[in-house]
Structures are given as C-alpha cells and as structure tokens.
Amino acid sequence: METPRTLTLIRPDDWHLHLRDGAAMAAVLPATARQFARAIVMPNLKPPVVTAQQAQAYRDRIVGALPPGSDFTPLMTLYLTDTLPPTEIARAKAAGVVAVKLYPAGATTHSDAGVTDMRRVAPTLEAMQRAGLLLLVHGEVTDPSVDVFDREAVFIERVMQPLRRDFPALKVVFEHITTREAARYVADSDENTAATITAHHLLYNRNAIFMGGLRPHYYCLPVLKREVHRQALIGAATSGSRKFFLGTDSAPHAAALKEASVCGAGCYTAPAALELYAEAFEAAGALDKLEAFASFNGPDFYGLPRNRGSVTLRREPWQLPETVPFGDAQLKPLRGGETLNWRLVT
C-alpha cells in the first residue's frame, strides 16, 4: 500500500499525561492542547492530588494556563493512597473526576504515597465500582527481588488477576503496557479491562537506552523492553481491538535532572506525540488503524462522547527542536534535534 501524503483523523485524546504544575505546567500544556482535545491528567504532583477539591483546583489552574483560543479539556484523576476514604469517591464523581490512579508505593516518579497493600483500598475500590469511576493502574510490582524487566509480568499474577476477580464491574485501564504478557492479558480479558500504549514503547526497544552510551532521555517507567515485546505492542495497537488506545505518558523532567548521576524516569513526547504514533503505525503498515486507536477507543471505553472536528498530519520532513523552555529550566523532547517525517498541520 502506498503511503498517503496526508492523514486526517477525528480529533484525538491523550489518555495518560503528566502536566506537572505551576510554571512547568504552563510550559508544557500548549504542546498537548495543540494536538489533543482532552487528556487524562495524572495526579502525581508533590504532594499528590488526593481530594475532589484539589482535583478541581488543579483543573482550574490548567484551564487558566491554556493559551487563548485553545479548545482543550483536562480530565481529572485522584491519586489512590492507603487512606483515600470511600466517601471521597462520591465527591470526586460530583466534581467531574473520571478516574483514580493506582501507583504501587515506590513504583515510579512521585509514587511514595502509593498503595502498600491492595486489601487496604478494597472499600474505596468498591465505592469506585458503584460510582463508575475508572481505576488506572501503574502495573509494576515493587518487590526488589523481582527483576526490573519482569515487574509488569509479575504484576499481572500478583495484582491484576485478584483485582479483576474481586471487582469485576470496575473499569480498569492497564496503563502504558510494555510487554507481550500485558498485551495478551488485556486482549483476553473481559470488556471492563483496557490498556494505553505510549508512542515510545511502540517505536523503541531497550537497546535505545544504550545506543553508543547511556541515553537518559529514553529512560522511563515501565522501562523499555526487548524487541519481542515491542512487536507485541505493535500487534495490539494495530489489531483493531477496541481495548487499546493512545496514552502518551509524556512525563517532563528538566534536562539537568535527566542528565544526572540519578536520572528521573520519564520521556517527554508531547510536542510531537501524534507524529511519533503515525511513524509507528506507518512502519507497521497500519496507518488506517491509527484513528480508532487515537480517537475512538479511548472515549468509547471511558463512556465519553467522541470528539468533533479533525486534525491533519502531512508527510513532510521537519526538525523537532532539541530543547524547549520549561519554567526556569530546559526540557529535551524525545527525538529533539532529529528529523520527523510526519507533521501536524495547524
């Protein structure tokens, strides 16, 4: 099949995004608002977003920082802690919060307030199931005896299977899946389980972290895996299954903190997110599957309307800037300084 010169999609959404707060948020928000109609905004601020009121206030700060004329809606989430009371769920629902995020304690950036034992949060999960709030899962165990590259697969057995058994009516999104095991688990599960997939996990395997030296900007969590896993993710994203949808996990960290002796986890992909997904789908010969993945499957699973209007990508080489401002600091987007073959037409 010959590659088309342009590709027009119903406006897409980003179902997993880190916006941070304050000047950092104001710096990264325009990139997402330009590409997406809505985004699920992660609650892992410091301190985390744990009440309906905090989620509302955070939403107001995001909306207040939007460039004039933007048409972008942040979709808010709460951070699940051992002590999030079930009574907060009804307040969250009333405040327009759509989901609650589970970080196993210590799994990733700003996750120290996360859940230490799933039994502790059972009453809250019960309340979410009743209220129709989704559970978004960072699917990695934190057991130090489990190899970093196996933590997602082990999470399926230790956490996902019991969770699905105990709360069958809870809608669960297995976020940023990175393995063949997770892709298979989600594909084989019932209609209440879905997954997001990032552009970087579709484009890269773990070799990218070590190409000619250690590459901190390719370090994220869950970490990039072997090529067989990348292939399985491509298979899932392009399969036509409605269970898989776009979530960039764009996670900005100042360049100075990435290029340090201890490098924070996160890839910043927001400035060219759609372009990177288009590249991955094109390489798989599946550009015709991109629209459902980017624009239909997410809202359908969340029970939200699909967007109106469209965006167009053109096949046209351009150079992504190597650095962009980030409050007082600098940010290095993934693939910055390199040529991309697709470009979002504005």
Q: Shortest Cβ distance from residue 129 to ligand NCD (Å)? A: 24
CB atoms within 10 A of CB 195: 29
Q: Shortest Cβ distance from residue 249 to Zn ion (Å)? A: 4
Q: Which of 166, 249, 288, 300 is catalytic?
A: 249
- The SS3 call for residue 226 is coil
CA distances from 276 to 1, 124, 137, 337, 340 (A): 20, 37, 24, 14, 8
Does 249 qualify as catalytic in the annotation?
Answer: yes
Among 186, 203, 221, 324, binds ligand NCD (CB under 6 A): 221
249 part of the interface to ligand NCD, by CB under 6 A: yes
Q: Shortest Cβ distance from residue 304 to ligand NCD (Å)? A: 22
DSSP H or E segment with residue 74: strand 73-79
Non-local CB neighbours of 145 within 8 Å, separated by 6+ positions: none
CA distances from 308 to 37, 70, 248, 273, 329 (A): 9, 15, 21, 20, 36
Among 38, 59, 138, 230, binds ligand NCD (CB under 6 A): 138
Nearer to ligand NCD, 44 or 73 (CB): 44
Question: What are residue 173's DSSP bridge partners?
Answer: 136, 194
* Burial readout 209-238 (b: 16 or more C-beta within 10 A, e: otherwise): beeeeeebbbbbbbbbbeeebbebbbbbbb
Q: How far apart are CA 247 and CA 200, in angstroms?
A: 11
Q: Shortest Cβ distance from residue 138 to ligand NCD (Å)? A: 6
Q: Shortest Cβ distance from residue 100 to ligand NCD (Å)? A: 15
DSSP class of 252? -
Nearer to ligand NCD, 201 or 343 (CB): 201
Sole window of 6-14, 81-89, 105-113, 239-247 interacting with ligand NCD (rule: CB under 6 A)? 105-113
Convert residues 252-291 into a mask of x (bound to ligand NCD by CB under 6 A) and - (unbound). -------------xx-------------------------
Among 13, 140, 249, 279, binds Zn ion (CB under 5 A): 249
Question: What are residue 9's DSSP bridge partners?
Answer: 311
Residues within window 4-33 making contact with ligand NCD, judged by CB under 6 A: 18
Pairing of strands 310-319, 339-345: antiparallel
Q: How many positions of this chain bind ligand NCD (CB under 6 A)?
A: 12
Query: Catalytic residue numbers?
Result: 249
Enumerate binding residues for Zn ion (CB under 5 A): 249
Enumerate binding residues for ligand NCD (CB under 6 A): 18, 44, 108-110, 138, 220-221, 249, 251, 265-266
